[in-house]
Amino acid sequence: MAINTGANVSKEVTYAALTSPEGVDTSKVVVYAATGLPPGDHTSKVVVYAATGLPPGDHTSKVVSYAAVGLHPGVNTSKVVLYAALQAGSIAPTSSLAFMWAS
Amino acid sequence: MSMIWCGGEDIDFLQGQAPTIQTSSSTFRSAYARCGINNPPGSGSFIKSDQFTAQTSCWLSCQFAGDMGDLTGRQPYQNVIGFGQFSSQNCLSIGGNPSNGQKVTLYKYDGTTWTQLAAEGGASFVSGVHRFDIQLISYGSSATVNVYCAGVQIITFTGDVSVSGMSNTDCVVMGPLNTNGYGVTSEIMVTSDDSRAYLGLATLAVNNQGTTNDWTNNTYTNINGINYSDANPTFSNTNGQDQQYEMNTLPSGSFAIPAVKISARSALGAGSAVSHLQLGYNSGGSVGFGSGSTKSPSGAYANLWQLDLTNPVISSAWTISDVNSLQVDLRAET
């Protein structure tokens, strides 16, 4: 399995399996991506577990992938709300305001 | 004499634990707000507002819904709301009383120890939405604190309200709690003038794109959630680009508008050509920005806010017609 080890990968851990006539098997790979990513697809975590004692060939027993939320270059805004303070005068009474005056 | 800070949605209170959003219309005034907030479940739960300019004398106002009666007998206190220290959990707050959960109690908290300062004679933490105003005069060893419920004074205390290491207040706190989240708070305002003169705080949500829509991914529903989400932001990496949005209108009636505030949860992406976000308005077809409106977002999302006591487009007091036709303007800048 190809693992992107570019600038966005903050941690990679590889455990080598001990039993394989074809060479080294990867029994576990864990990749965590840093925050502050550029746009696009990013994998923040990949976990691969391979069984031991396998016949020749590629084997993957489990893959877990989480997609990170990346920031786009530039200013990103995810929520906007505006408040207006009201003072003096009066507001037309409505049912939803009744408790204001009752309290 | 004026507004210092105001808020009432999740993005204004993300400096401690994330608040829980309540949308049941019985827990807030739906003509003014679209939700209330309360502490997340769990003993010790503590939420904190954005930081504002430090004060030693000011008013704190809110609407609060919650019958605290079933908290009778619980120790220590159940903090509802108070004046906090941004760098700690130190605070001067009102909350329930162990002898009677409905009895509004004034206490100070140093992060470990609760000290009761005064308690009301009656019982005001009862069911329904109620207005509370707290006046703080000269925080310190010789302070005065007055507490009002629905405009009626229920506590006056003069004496030492100081907490070690805290010399003023620069945020609003809710908690810590001694049990699960309890009560819903909305329309929170900190003012230098008498907060009892304020009718309330109207929340105006984004409800459409505006006149100028230069940013990418600018569909208004991407940024108008009651619960914030960072999954699908609008963004711009071009200097001078404006993104405008239309807003909901004010409650009907006749009133003055002493302050308008924009809250914008924002961040700066890696490798950006721009580095600032300016928060302003399109008012009557002209764009304007108030003093201090250029913000510097960081690489992690945070709430940026701009408080304008007057309409910066026309340099005059806000009017109802101004606000009802107002568009918020986000401008990306180098």
Contact flag A75-B197 (C-beta cutoff 8 Å): no
User: Tokens representing B296?
Assistant: 């510097």
Q: Could you check whether B3-197 and B206-333 share the same CATH topology? A: yes
Residue B334 in this model has a pLDDT that exceeds 70: yes
Q: Give the right CATH number for B3-197 from 1.25.40.10, 3.90.1280.10, 3.30.160.150, 2.60.120.200.
A: 2.60.120.200
The whole-number average pLDDT for the span B15-34 is 94
For residue B304, the model assigns a pLDDT of 98
B265 → closest Cβ in A78, A88, A97? A78
Q: Is A71 on the interface with B (CB under 8 A)?
A: yes
B269 → closest Cβ in A72, A89, A103? A72
Tell me the nearest-neighbour CA distance from B334 into chain A, angstroms. 9
**Over the stretch B184-193, which tens digit does the pLDDT of each residue have?**
999 999 999 9
The answer to whether the peptide bond before residue B176 is cis (omega within 30 degrees of 0) is yes
pTM, rounded to two decimals: 0.83
**Over the stretch B53-69, which tens digit does the pLDDT of each residue have?**
999 999 999 999 988 87
Tell me the nearest-neighbour CA distance from B191 into chain A, angstroms. 11
Contact flag B274-A75 (C-beta cutoff 8 Å): yes
**Over the stretch B123-178, which tens digit does the pLDDT of each residue have?**
999 999 999 999 999 999 999 999 999 999 999 999 999 999 999 999 999 988 76
- Chain B's closest residue to A102, CA to CA, is B150
Nearest to B232 by CA among B220, B244, B222, B224: B222
A36 → closest Cβ in B11, B251, B270? B270
- Partners of B253 on chain A (C-beta within 8 Å) are 86, 89-92
**Over the stretch B6-16, which tens digit does the pLDDT of each residue have?**
999 999 999 98
**Over the stretch B230-269, which tens digit does the pLDDT of each residue have?**
999 999 999 999 999 999 999 999 999 999 999 999 999 9
Domain ranges of chain A: 9-67
Contact flag A74-B204 (C-beta cutoff 8 Å): no
**Over the stretch B260-292, which tens digit does the pLDDT of each residue have?**
999 999 999 999 999 999 999 999 999 999 999
A84 → closest Cβ in B236, B260, B330? B260
- Chain B's closest residue to A37, CA to CA, is B270
Domain ranges of chain B: 3-197, 206-333
For residue B16, the model assigns a pLDDT of 86
User: Tokens representing A60?
Assistant: 């993957």
| Cβ partners under 8 Å of residue A23, min gap 6 | none
For residue B181, the model assigns a pLDDT of 57
Task: Say if CB A59 and CB B226 are below 8 A apart.
Answer: no
Class of domain B206-333: mainly beta
Nearest to B236 by CA among B208, B293, B276: B276
The whole-number average pLDDT for the span A53-69 is 58
Contact flag A71-B269 (C-beta cutoff 8 Å): yes
Instruction: Give the whole-angstrom CA distance, residue A55 versus residue B130.
Output: 72
Residue A89 in this model has a pLDDT that exceeds 80: no
The whole-number average pLDDT for the span A60-86 is 81
- Local structure of residue B30 (DSSP, 8 states): T
Nearest to B181 by CA among B19, B30, B72, B49: B19
Instruction: Give the whole-angstrom CA distance, residue B297 versus residue B276.
Output: 6
